[in-house]
Each structure stands twice: as structure tokens, then as C-alpha cells.
């Protein structure tokens, strides 16, 4: 993987379900999305809706609201929303290209490709403010627990399937319940999948150092799963199959193995928009193919928030208050302010 910071591109937004959803959310008068088959004039209807959109309406606030919508719409336990199937239809995503072009050129998307900084924030109530306590570089205990439970789940779900009790779902996440930190606040307060954003958030300054793998797009996630494969077909086939419409073998990273090479993983916003809720093929790396017709081995990124850093070893330490004080924020998503400020 190159160390270069890639530019945000139109294709980054249009090739992934989350990126398409973001562009769609910016339209004030979108075309109706059908509950059944996509109509033949879907692309034409989308072009008309894009033509009614005013590019001057794109601001930091509307961008953040659209990104929040995309994160909120992400689901891994059932079929996607009707509008997401609509956006994946032939010609419909391409009709969103004028919107995507304005988005990638906007200055407030510059941080969407930014790599993990040393200084970040631990967010409460999602994260406990206390950090440290284990020798630096030692893989965190939740990894072993997560993988042991995953192996047990595979045996249990296989037994259910063989007994004719499937399909059984309910387990959909990709990574163990580890420490996450964020770099961009207050935006990060709202960009958390499957979560109700509280009105009061505390951000504790921390320093994270070590070997951090940047997940900048689907190719990086595929490479990680190819190098460190852990099969979860039995426990994920129902939920991930519903999300993607794909049947076949499923894999996630073997986090125990990953932690030997990396202290953390940072998912850029661009990486999230192009990768999450998308079936990605692991077989035949020579072709570069990222999707398939239902056979072979595939992976999915599920439950990993945009611009979050997942720490696999204990290398995160609090910053002293005199260097960076704790910040407390209040308000509803997209309208947050520092506590005591209006």
C-alpha cells in the first residue's frame, strides 16, 4: 500500500453505497424510489432531479448533514433501503456525477482523505475516558474474546443450519469492541453507525502512536482480509447476505494476526464512503475485481465509523490538561456547540 494520500475522486463517491447515499441526500427534490423493480426511466428521473439542485447550496452544514444521513442509513442486518437499490441501478449513479463533482471540489471535504494524526479524541459516552494500563504494544484482551466467540458462533450456526433451523442472523459486526478514537470534532460526534447521538458529549484528548494502517478504500480492506483471513460464513451469511444480496463464503480480518503487524487501523471518510456495506471479493487479486455473482470468498466492512481509528494494542495515552483540555459539547446533531457557549 502506498503512503501517498489519495485525492478524493468522483468514483470514490459513486462506486460505494455510502457515497451514493451521501450524494442522493444532498438533493432537495429527489426522484421517488420504488418499492419494487427500478423503472426504465430511473436514470432520466435522477438527471432531472440533479438538474433542479443548486450547487451553491452545498455548505459545510449541508455536507455534514448528508454524511450523517449516509452513516445513519447503513444497515448490516437486513436488506438495504429501497433508495439504495435504486441508486445502484444502471445509469442512476452516473446521473449523480454532477453532484459528486461539486462535493469532491468543496474545501470542507479536504479532511475526508486525511491520515490518522497523533493527537486524537476519545469520546464519552461511547468510550471510557480512562486509557492505558497495559504494556504498550500488547494486543488488547477483547481480540482474543472476540475471535473465541466467533469460532463458537461458527460451530453453533453451522449446527443450526444443518438441523434445518436457518437462516439465523443477529451477528453482523466486523471488529471487536475495541477502543476507537477520532480526529475531527465536533463532526465525529454524529458519525457513529447504529447509534443515537446524545445531546451531551465529552471529548478527552489522547495521543496515539505506533504502526497505523490507513484504510483509504476497498482495495485496502480487501488486502487486509486477504493477508489475515478469518472465516465467518456461518454466522454472517444471513445478515451479510441480506445486505448485499450475495451468497457465498464470508471473511473478516483475523485481528489477532493483524495486531502483530499493526497497532491500529484508521478508516478515512473516503474509505468509509467507498467501502462500507459493500461485498468485496477476495479471490483472484490479479483482476482487481471487487464484486462477484455469489460464489467464491468475499468480505464486508460493518460497524467501522468514518474517520475512526481502531486501536488493537495499548498505545493510546491521555494528554495532560495543560497541553489540551477536555472539551464538552452540547446540542443536537449538526447544531452542536461548546458547553457554556451559544
Task: Supply the pLDDT for residue 133.
Answer: 40
Task: Supply the pLDDT for residue 136.
Answer: 45
Give residue-wise pLDDT tens across range 70-104. 999 999 998 888 899 899 988 999 999 999 999 99
Task: Supply the pLDDT for residue 132.
Answer: 43
Give residue-wise pLDDT tens across range 250-289. 999 999 999 999 999 999 999 999 999 999 999 865 544 5
Residue 221: Cβ-neighbour burial (10 angstroms; 0-12, 13-18, 19+): buried
Domain boundaries along the sequence of the chain = 10-112, 114-338
Rounded to an integer, the average pLDDT of 142-158 is 93
Q: Are 216 and 113 in contact (CB under 8 A)?
A: yes
Closest CA to 95 of 142, 141, 52: 52
Residue 87 backbone phi and psi in degrees, to 5: -70, -20
Cα distance between residue 294 and residue 216, in whole Å: 25
Q: Which residues contact 80 (CB under 8 A, 6 or more apart)?
A: 17, 243, 277
105 three-state secondary structure: helix
Write out the three cell numbers for 340: 457554556
| DSSP type of residue 74 | -
Cα distance between residue 200 and residue 198, in whole Å: 6
Which pairs from 55-62 meet CB under 8 Å and 24+ separation? Answer: 55/98, 55/102, 57/26, 57/28, 58/26, 58/102, 58/103, 58/106, 59/108, 60/108, 61/334, 62/26
The DSSP result for 209-265, as a single string, is -S-EEEE-SHHHHHHHHHHSEEE-HHHHHHHHHHHH---SEEEEE-HHHHHHH-SEE
Give residue-wise pLDDT tens across range 105-140. 999 999 999 999 999 998 876 554 444 444 444 456
- Listed in sequence order, the DSSP H helices in the chain are 10-14, 17-25, 42-51, 60-73, 82-87, 92-95, 97-105, 141-162, 218-227, 233-244, 255-261, 269-275
Write out the three cell numbers for 88: 445502484
Residue 151 backbone phi and psi in degrees, to 5: -65, -40
Q: What percent of the chain has pLDDT over 70?
A: 89
Rounded to an integer, the average pLDDT of 220-246 is 95
336 has a pLDDT exceeding 80: no
Q: Which residues contact 209 (CB under 8 A, 6 or more apart)?
A: 118, 263, 315
Amino acid at each position: 500500500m502506498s503512503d501517498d494520500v489519495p485525492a478524493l475522486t468522483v468514483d470514490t463517491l459513486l462506486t460505494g453505497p455510502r457515497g451514493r447515499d451521501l450524494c442522493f441526500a444532498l438533493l432537495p427534490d429527489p426522484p421517488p424510489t420504488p418499492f419494487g423493480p427500478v423503472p426504465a426511466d430511473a436514470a432520466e428521473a435522477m438527471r432531472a432531479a440533479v438538474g433542479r439542485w443548486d450547487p451553491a447550496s452545498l455548505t459545510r452544514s449541508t455536507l455534514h448533514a448528508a454524511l450523517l444521513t449516509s452513516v445513519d442509513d447503513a444497515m448490516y442486518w437486513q436488506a438495504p433501503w429501497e433508495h439504495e437499490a435504486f441508486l445502484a441501478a444502471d445509469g442512476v449513479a452516473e446521473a449523480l456525477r454532477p453532484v459528486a463533482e461539486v462535493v469532491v471540489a468543496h474545501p470542507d471535504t479536504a479532511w475526508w482523505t486525511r491520515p490518522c494524526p497523533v493527537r486524537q479524541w476519545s469520546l464519552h459516552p461511547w468510550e471510557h475516558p480512562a486509557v492505558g494500563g497495559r504494556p504498550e504494544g500488547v494486543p488488547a484482551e477483547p481480540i482474543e474474546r472476540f475471535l473465541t466467540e466467533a469460532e463458537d458462533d461458527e460451530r453453533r450456526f453451522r449446527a443450526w443450519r444443518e438441523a434445518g433451523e436457518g437462516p439465523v442472523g443477529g451477528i453482523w459486526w466486523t471488529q471487536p469492541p475495541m477502543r476507537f478514537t477520532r480526529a475531527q470534532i465536533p463532526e465525529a460526534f454524529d458519525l457513529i453507525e447504529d447509534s443515537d447521538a446524545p445531546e451531551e458529549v465529552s471529548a478527552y484528548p489522547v495521543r496515539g502512536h505506533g504502526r497505523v494502517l490507513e484504510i483509504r478504500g476497498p482495495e485496502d480492506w480487501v488486502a487486509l482480509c486477504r493477508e489475515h483471513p478469518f472465516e465467518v460464513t456461518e454466522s454472517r451469511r444471513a445478515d451479510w447476505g441480506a445486505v448485499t444480496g450475495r451468497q457465498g463464503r464470508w471473511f473478516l480480518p483475523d485481528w489477532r494476526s493483524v495486531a502483530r503487524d499493526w497497532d491500529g487501523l484508521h478508516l478515512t471518510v473516503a474509505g468509509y464512503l467507498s467501502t462500507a456495506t459493500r461485498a468485496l471479493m477476495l479471490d483472484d487479486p490479479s483482476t482487481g475485481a471487487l464484486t462477484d455473482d455469489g460464489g467464491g470468498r468475499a468480505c464486508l466492512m460493518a460497524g467501522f465509523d468514518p474517520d475512526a481509528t481502531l486501536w488493537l494494542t495499548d498505545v493510546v495515552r491521555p494528554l495532560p490538561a495543560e497541553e489540551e483540555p477536555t472539551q464538552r459539547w452540547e446540542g443536537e446533531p449538526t447544531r452542536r456547540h461548546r458547553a457554556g457557549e451559544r
